Chains A and B, each alone.
Chain A
Amino acid sequence: MTANAVLRAAGLRKEYGRGAALVRAVDGVDLDVAAGEAVAIVGASGCGKSTLLHLLGGLERASGGELSMAGERFDTMSETRLARLRRNAIGFVFQGFHLVDELTAAENVELPALLAGVSPRAARRRAADLLERVGLADRSRHLPSALSGGQRQRVAVARALVNRPLVVLADEPTGNLDSTATTDVLRLFDGLRRNGHTLVIVTHDSRIAATSDRLITMRDGAFVDETRLGGGARRLGSLAGLGG
């Protein structure tokens, strides 16, 4: 156990169905995410990684095991308290953006802050700061329909940060994007990591996984491999294969 774990899972399980039709979507996962750490969980579709993210974010209840956020158990919390924890401590980024179509970019970012009781003026200021950070200050009054996929995802990242969460959970954040938009979102996540945000990203995109500090491979609901990235200062030229 890490002393400064922000998010912690122990023996986490999620099962669907019963008897012969029993599916172990998450099958005994232990995970400590330290403050400021970026963790990527990769695996083929159906390996259980999205279910795991839903459990870590309190969006679904586990079948077994323990979950805690900054030392506080939340697998046993009431729905009301869990909803508050989700709102205040966790930022979510989804593959499909999940923006409200009728609200402008700025209003989408403000919304979770207003729901958390932040004053309208402070919420507006936070939204403006965050949209500037994701490079969309000049798009704040646009509706999502007037934004490209990459821009929508950047709005979604700004929204995820508005309540200054302890951890940001992202589910295939580049899944719906073309190559250029993917690069924009990669830059953004790389920037979040450098700025000390705590991130858990589940993805099958090895590019976004490669921006993390630690990369975990999941198969059949369990962690099977772990890689630390960015440790050694490799001479990149050795990869270029330019012989004499």
Chain B
Amino acid sequence: MQDVVLALLAKEPSHGYELRARLQHALGPLGDALNAGQVYVTLGRLEKAGLVAAQRVGQTDRPDRKVYELTAAGQDRVTAWLAEVGWAKPVSAKFHLKLVAVAAAGLADPVAIVDAQRRELLRQLGDLQGAALAEPDGSSAALLLEGAVLRLQADLRWLEACARHWEREERA
């Protein structure tokens, strides 16, 4: 979240409310969990770390608001973040090991565990896809939702392979 907020400030100095609005626009339906506090807490931490500087701007009919801008250290951190190639882990080793352990100990039916997992992913896919179909063409939120849908499709195909494998093992 810190990196995201810093990168958003690279365009121009901004205040918390506007940053949150830009985040929500980019996330679309996936921005519903983003509360106002999260952005303000992040800005506070960044200020303490010397990555952003805040300036109070008076408003006639409301309390002053703080406008944040990147410091030189903040600029460096944004540049470093752009060069990062970190990614969510593609291997679900934990789930695989759960099935191996369950089958070895005879604790439960691995195929039933695969089915339960598949039901959960299908429900997620249904929700995400419903949101994706409701987005107008070409929105940036639609692009994000497409990524989520493609990923879930791949995971579901892998679960199908898991089911086939553990069914064969059971028969053997």
A residues with a Cβ closer than 8 A to B are: 44, 183, 186-187, 190, 206-207, 209-211, 215, 217, 219, 224-225, 227, 229-232, 234-244
- By a CB distance below 8 angstroms, the chain B residues around A227 are 118-119, 122-123
B153 touches A206 (CB 8 A): yes
Could you list 22 A-B pairs, sorted by A, with CB under 8 Å?
A: A186-B133, A207-B149, A210-B125, A210-B126, A211-B126, A217-B115, A217-B118, A219-B167, A225-B115, A227-B119, A229-B123, A229-B126, A230-B126, A234-B124, A234-B127, A236-B127, A237-B30, A237-B32, A237-B34, A240-B30, A240-B33, A242-B33
If A186-B129, A207-B129, A211-B129 touch, whether A239 touches B122 (CB-CB below 8 Å) is: no
- By a CB distance below 8 angstroms, the chain A residues around B33 are 235-238, 240, 242
Distance in angstroms from A27 CB to nearest chain B CB is 15
Distance in angstroms from A30 CB to nearest chain B CB is 18
A237 to B141 CA separation, bound complex (whole angstroms): 12
If A207-B129, A229-B122 touch, whether A235 touches B148 (CB-CB below 8 Å) is: no
B30 touches A209 (CB 8 A): no
Main secondary structure of the interface of B (DSSP, over half): helix
- By a CB distance below 8 angstroms, the chain A residues around B31 are 237, 240
Distance in angstroms from A146 CB to nearest chain B CB is 23
Instruction: Tell me if B99 counts as interface (CB < 8 A to partner A).
Output: no
A238 to B149 CA separation, bound complex (whole angstroms): 15
Interface size range of chain B in the complex: 35 or more
A187 touches B115 (CB 8 A): no
Instruction: Tell me if B36 counts as interface (CB < 8 A to partner A).
Output: no
Closest to A238 in B: B33
Distance in angstroms from B33 CB to nearest chain A CB is 2
B30 touches A225 (CB 8 A): no
